[in-house]
Amino acid sequence: MKRLYSWNVNGLRACMQKGFVEFLEREDPDVLCVQETKMQPEQADFVFPGYEVYWNSAVKKGYSGTAVLTKEMPLAVWKDMGIERHNTEGRTLTLEYPEYYLVNVYVPNSQSELARLSYRMEWEDDVRAYLRGLKEKKPVIVTGDFNVAKEEIDLKNPKANRGNAGFSDEEREKMRALLASGFVDSFRYLYPDREEAYSWWSYRFRSREKNAGWRIDYFLVSEGYEGQIADSLILSEQMGSDHCPIALYLNEKEKNE
């Protein structure tokens, strides 16, 4: 079984002091996709034994950024989507493996008063087209912080948050459009009715203690690849960030003798 994990660490250097190393040793993922690293690799001398590490850092220091730790050497790795206006914030990192492409994404936050919504809408359309292009070649697994709760079941207080960043009609429609383009939400595929399953909690109002959260971190797989899903997990007990890790366990295809 292959074990893929994803975690928005809200600053990797800070998370390293809050249980990241212990998490990595305990869970022993085959691949870990990290979002919001908030660092360039030269800013710290981290060593992760047994893993190759690939980075896509934002130009602006202390902001955004993605990374992938992998035990299996990928066939190829590339940053971004090949669109210049999206190439400065380190928001996508793609690894090609023999069976599939793995795409780590950190979707732009629409921000207070939806100040960045128009840019996000462009980004969403471009990343959907990018993923569709990959999917024509082989299956795609896309994971990360999508910064949207798609349905009311995916957050604690949907009525109070209607129209806010992460639960605006526009953002939800883009997520539905991505799924309609040929992707399956692995968690809802297995657990369509599970309530109070969240991956992010505000630092305010003791939200995590009350489990007043949002499910905004996902593992999506190409339609037709659902049969490989063994489990899709939300590790809500893991502290260290305002997000918790999520995981996708895959049944490995038997190799022909």
Q: What is the pLDDT of residues 153-170, one digit of tens each?
A: 999 999 999 999 999 999
**Residues known to be catalytic:** 106, 145
b/e map 140-175, b = 16+ CB within 10 Å: bbbbbbbbbbbeeebbbeeeebeeebbbbeebbebb
Helix (H, G, I), strand (E, B) or coil at 250: strand
pLDDT of residue 256: 46
Distance CA(216)–CA(214), nearest Å, equals 6
pLDDT of residue 232: 98
pLDDT of residue 117: 98
Q: What are phi and psi of 201, to 5 degrees?
A: -135, 135
pLDDT of residue 254: 59
In 3D space, the residue among 115, 124, 113 whose CA is nearest the CA of residue 83 turns out to be 124
Give the ranges where the chain is alpha helix by DSSP (H).
12-15, 20-27, 117-135, 158-161, 169-180, 186-190, 207-210
Q: Is 257 a residue whose pLDDT tops 50? A: no
